[in-house]
Amino acid sequence: MILYFAKSAEITGLRSETISVPQEIKALQLWKEIETRHPGLADVRNQIIFAVRQEYVELGDQLLLLQPGDEIAVIPPISGG
Amino acid sequence: MLSLEISSSCFNQETKLLAFEPSRKDMDEVEEKSKEVINVTTEKLPVDEVLQLVISPLCGAVSLFVGTTRNNFEGRKVISLEYEAYLPMAENEVKKICTVFHGLGLVPPSEASIISAVSSAHRAASLEAVSYAIDTLKAKLPIWQKEIYEESSSWKGNRVLWGIQQ
C-alpha cells in the first residue's frame, strides 16, 4: 500500500493505492514503478523520501524486503513544527 | 534528569488536535506508567493542559516552546496554515522525544500550531531539551505545512538533512 501526502497527494490525486511489486526491490526501483504510474511525480523526485513500515528510507540502492500489506509512504519535504 | 519518554496519543475530531502525552517514569526509573486520555478541548491548543501534563513535584523546571502561525511569509500575506500528518508514524517519532501538541487542519495567524514541553529537575536540562526537541521534531516528524495566501497556496519544506537517522 502506497500512501501519498501533501504535494505528492496533490500530484497523484490520491491518498493511497495498492500496487504489486516484487517482494525484494530496491528503493529506487520502487520509486520508478510509482513514477511510471504518475509521471507528474518526476518533478519532485529529488525531494522525496520513503517511509517503509514507518522508517525513513532514501530513494537509493537499499534493498527493501516487503510483505503483503506493508505501508510505504511517499514523504515530501516535511514542514511541521 | 528528564521526565519524558513513552507517550500515548489521542486525536480529537472536533478541533483536529493531535496530542502526544508522555507517561511518567519514577525517579529511579523502575516503573513506567502510561495513560490513555481522551481530550475534549476548545479550538485552541491548550497551553495550560500541556503544562499540567509535564509538571511534576520531582521537577524544578518546565520549558515550553509554542510555535504560532505568522501572518506573512516572504512579503506575502498568509491567510492560514494547514497541517497534514502521517499519523501513526508521527506518533512513533514523537514517542522518542517529549510532550507535543500539534495542530492539524487549519491554524490561522496568532494561533499556536505546536506546543512542546519538557520538564526536568533543573532548568539547564529542560531549556536545552525543549530546544533539541523542537529542532528534532522539525527534522523528523512526518507533518506538512501548507501556506495559504490570498490567491494561492504552497507546501512548505523545511531545510532538513535526510541523512539524520536515529
B67: domain CATH number is: 3.90.1170.40
B154 falls within a domain: yes
Task: Kindly state whether residue B124 falls inside one of the protein's structural domains.
Answer: yes
Q: What are B115-159's pLDDT values in tens digits? A: 888 878 888 888 888 888 888 888 888 889 999 988 888 898 875
The three grid cell numbers given for residue B104, joined into one nine-digit string: 492539524
**A and B: number of Cβ contacts within 8 A:** 77
State the pLDDT confidence band at B16, using cuts at 50, 70 and 90: very low
Structurally, what CATH architecture does the domain formed by A2-75 represent? Answer: Roll (3.10)
Residue-range domain boundaries for chain A: 2-75
If you search the block for the grid coordinates 498568509, which residue do you land on? B78
List of chain B residues whose C-beta atoms are within 8 Å of the C-beta of residue A79: 138, 143-145, 155-158
Q: Cα–Cα distance between A3 and A26 in angstroms, integer?
A: 18
Count up the domains in chain B and report the number.
1
CA-closest candidate to residue A27, choices A60, A49, A66, A56: A60
The predicted-structure confidence for B136-147, as pLDDT tens digits, reads as follows 888 888 889 999
* Mean pLDDT (chain B, rounded): 68
B contacts of A47 (beta carbons < 8 Å): 157
B/e letters for A14-48, b = 16+ CB within 10 Å, e = fewer, are eeeeeeeeeeebebebbbeebbeebeebeebeeeb
| Rounded Cα–Cα distance for residues B31 and B26 (Å) | 6
**DSSP label at residue B2:** B
- C-alpha grid cell for residue B148? 495559504
Whether residue B122 lies inside any domain: the answer is: yes
Q: Which residues of A touch B86 (CB under 8 A)?
A: 3, 5, 51, 73, 75
Q: Which residues, at least 6 apart from A55, have a Cβ–Cβ distance to it below 8 Å?
A: none
* Residue in B123, B110, B40, B41 with CA at minimum distance from that of residue B81: B110
Q: Apex CA B100: angle with CA B107 and CA B152, to 5°?
A: 25
Closest CA to A33 of A70, A59, A68: A59
Q: What CA–CA distance (Å, rounded) separates B100 from B81?
A: 18
Cell numbers that stand for B6 in this block: 513513552
Predicted pLDDT at B118: 80
β-strands B61-68, B112-120: how paired?
antiparallel
> B113: domain range?
33-38+54-159
Instruction: Let me know if residue B22 belongs to a domain.
Output: no
What's A44's DSSP letter? G
pLDDT at B19: 52
| pLDDT higher than 90, residue A38 | yes
B25 assigned to some structural domain: no
How close is the nearest chain B Cα to the Cα of A2, in Å?
12
Asked whether B3 and B119 are in contact (CB, 8 A), the reply is yes
Q: d(Cα B40, Cα B21) in Å, to the nearest integer?
A: 14
Q: Is residue B26 part of a domain?
A: no
Chain A contact present for B88, CB below 8 A: yes
Q: In one letter, which amino acid is A59?
A: L
